[in-house]
Structure 1
Amino acid sequence: MHADPFALRALLGASAAPSRRAISGESGVTLPPLIDHHVHLHLIDERALPGGGIAGVVDLGGDPVGLARRPVDGMPRVSYAGAFLTAPGGYPSGRPWAPDEIVRIATDPSDHPGVPGGAATAVGEQASFGASVIKVALNAAAGPVFDPAMLDAIVSAARGHGLPVVAHVEGERMTRLALDAGVDALAHTPFTEALDDDLIGRAAAAGQTWISTLGIHQGDRAATANALANLEAFVAAGGTVLYGTDLGNGDRRVGVLVDELRALDRAGVRGEALVRALCDPWPAAAAAGVSTFVPGPPPAALDDVAEWLGRATVVPSEELIHDDH
């Protein structure tokens, strides 16, 4: 018996469709391609991502030259920031997992391309290698960070290339610094401080997007509590949330992470909203020619959606027959 398409869409949204695979006849549900909006490809075995349900990723800190040389139509489909832009001595400089190729030091707010250490130079390099977003490091817990003038210059340079800016915020007042500069997205739900309602309301009203990465805090009770409370308030204020795991940070499954989905669910990103957080193509176009297929019966209730999504795999769209009648 096929799933009721009306009940399915009421639970998961208009993009969900009962379907079956043409070759095997296996029944299930089709969704748009699932995307992990925060990974580091140089730290994971990306070949496992499609089998684990992930069709696209956003690399938020890698070698821009290597990323630019990737096959455009490979799997997973990759959008990327290129290198981290950071202050002298700032995060992630010197970390064992962060080779020099993935870090650029910016020291001058100059808007003239070619100025050594200039904001326009650093941003322009990433744009020239095909970046879809610019990544800045604002980690006051681990070293120096950009002052407001320097951060403003980077955001302005990115705007000149039509690119959004995403920030790693960590440490006191870093979320406020990013918001005041007009940073478009946060690479992590803020976790080092409990944000006040005014700041969270400002972020939501400004259209800032937060990438979840709640699962990286396992074992750190304070960070977990802060992140969940901040995300719950941001969702309640109407903020936009994207699924992201920071894959490469710790030894975890390469694919859809059910624990991340459960945490999002607890923060109020449920059902259709959870599917949107996974399928939003930000910051680039959606993967073409592939779909998500979740075999077997669909979820019966909201509480079942996170676990159910953990069964997802990536298949060619032409292989699926939709059973919408």
Structure 2
Amino acid sequence: MTALRVRGIVLPDRVERTFWIDGDRIGTEPLPGAETVVDGGWLLPGLVDAHTHPGSTGPGHPFDDGVLRDDLGAHRDAGVLLVRTPGSAGRIPKWVDDDPDLPRVRSAGRWLATPGRFFPGWGRDVTEADLVEAAVEEAAASSGWCKVIGDWLPDDPAVPLSVLTAVVEAVHAIGGKVAVHCQTAEGTRNAVEAGVDSLEHGLNLDPALVDRMAAQGTALVPTLGAFGDMAERGRPVRGWDAHFGTVGAALEAGVTVLAGTDSRPCGTVAAEVGWLIRAGLGVEAAVGAASWTAREWLGVPGLVEGAPADLVAYDRDPTVDPSVLGSPGRVVLRGRVVG
């Protein structure tokens, strides 16, 4: 593999730096004979979609390796070089980690759905009595995450607080983390009070809970675009009118707010950044929610010595003109130019 040289203004620091890449890690020591592949412009750590479900074409459809490859390829082509899959119809196979052409994946295994709280059979159906054991199994078999469907229909009861609390305690005991789908007031409250690691969607979240979220490190992935698109098509979305305000209040309280699309086609996290800006996040915070902030939260370093060699380069500053996020000038993944 040919060594690479990359020079540009690194965001969010706004300092011009030069990196040398030999293999799958970023270095700062010059490498003789390196090929210059970026010479100027703005550099970001690879973009991140913190809530995407590659591998299945829709509710009830089977998990398919071919669809998974195509979906991850669409992410890569958009500069999304790290994805988090909080639940899917099947476990992400090992070959994904070994494929140099595909983004890195942090997986939560299969969705964990208790009776009446998800599309039947799309994921892993378990009873409330078996939820703790299943959560530990999925976390251990994936990237350390598990995903619980905490509520479903608006007027139906959520997974009880005592059950969710037991899940969180058991998964944390093995070093794992818990993501919870929640869209109702009861579901979001139970998730926050149980101490989950991430609130997925968070519609109808009581703003009085955001200080607790910040204190215990519960992140919010509001998936604004998925619901906003429905609302703009005239489909009722309970809690949508207050969602923007809640996201802003969460960020102000110090909650980590992340960009996640939760919809097809894959590779559209730039549009989610736009929704976060509409919700009141500053442009830099919104871009960070899909790049350096998300990477830090997932425990993956950005553009520093020894970090994974994943970066995107732009001709214009995306924190000034976020519209450029969807059109990277250069994409380097795992130390190779892929776009």
The bucket for the TM-score relative to the shorter chain is 0.7 to 0.9
Structure 2 match to 1:315: 332
User: Quick check: 2:117–2:149 contact (8 Å CA) kept in 1?
Assistant: yes
Structure 2 residue aligned with 1:283: 298
Structure 1 counterpart of 2:109, from 82, 106, 111: 82
Match of 2:28? none
The alignment's TM-score, normalised by the length of structure 2, stands at 0.74
Answer whether contact 1:33 1:286 (CA < 8 A) is retained.
Answer: no
Query: Residue 263 of structure 1 corresponds to which residue in structure 2?
Result: 275
From 59, 78, 88, give the equivalent of 1:52: 78
TM alignment of 1:109-188, pairs within 5 A? 117=130, 119=132, 121-141=133-153, 145-188=158-201
Q: CA deviation at 1:118?
A: 5.1
Give the superposition deviation at 1:240: 0.9
| Mapping for residues 209-288 of structure 1, pairs under 5 Å | 209-217=219-227, 218-220=229-231, 223-246=239-262, 249=263, 251-252=264-265, 254-279=266-291, 280-281=294-295, 282-285=297-300
Shift of 1:77: 0.7
For 2:218, the equivalent position in structure 1 comes to 208
Letter paired with 2:12? G
SS at structure 2 position matched to 1:28: strand
Change (3 A) 1:82 1:93: same
Aligned to 2:321, the other structure's residue is in SS state helix
For residue 231 of structure 2, what is the amino acid of its counterpart?
Answer: D
Q: Residues of 2 paired with 1:162 and 1:24: CA distance?
A: 39
Would you say the 8 A contact 2:139–2:177 is kept in 1? no
Query: C-alpha deviations, 1:10-34, integer Å up to 9, x for none?
Result: xx42276467994566643221121
Distance across 1 between alignment mates of 2:139 and 2:230: 37
**Distance change (3 Å), C-alpha of 1:126 and 1:24:** closer
Partner Cα distance (2:225, 2:128) in 1: 33
Shift of 1:88: 1.9
**Count of equivalent residues:** 287
RMSD of equivalent CA atoms: 3.0
| Rounded Cα–Cα distance in structure 1 between residues aligned with 2:16 and 2:127 | 47
Q: Offset at 1:140?
A: 4.0
- Distance (Å, rounded) in 1 between the aligned partners of 2:110 and 2:316: 42
The structure, 1 or 2, with the larger RCO (C-alpha pairs under 8 Å, 6+ apart) is 1
CA deviation after TM superposition for structure 1 residue 46, in Å: 1.8
Q: State the percentage of identical aligned residues.
A: 28
* 8 Å Cα contact 2:136/2:146 also seen in 1: no
What is the CA–CA distance in structure 2 between the aligned matches of 1:242 and 1:181, rounded to whole Å? 20
Matches within 5 A, 1:293-308: 293-299=312-318, 302=319, 304-308=320-324
Whole-Å separation in 2 of the counterparts to 1:316 and 1:197: 39
Query: 1:122/1:49 Cα in 2 relative to 1: closer, same or farther (>3 Å)?
Result: same
Paired residues of 1:294 and 1:311 also in contact (CA < 8 A): no
Residues 106/314 of structure 1: CA separation in 2 closer, same or farther (3 Å cut): farther
Cα-to-partner distance string for 1:126-149 (whole Å, 9 max, x where unaligned): 133133212111124265532122
Q: Does the 8 A contact of 1:104 with 1:122 survive in 2?
A: no
Give the Å deviation of 1:212.
3.0
C-alpha distance in structure 2 between counterparts of 1:307 and 1:207, whole Å: 30
One-letter code aligned to 2:116: G
* Residue ranges of structure 1 left out of the alignment (5+ in a row): 109-116, 321-325
2:48–2:83 contact (8 Å) kept in structure 1:
yes
TM-score (norm 1): 0.77
Partner of 2:128 in structure 1? 107
Return 5+ residue gaps in structure 2 as ranges.
1-6, 20-33, 57-66
- The residue aligned with 2:64 is none
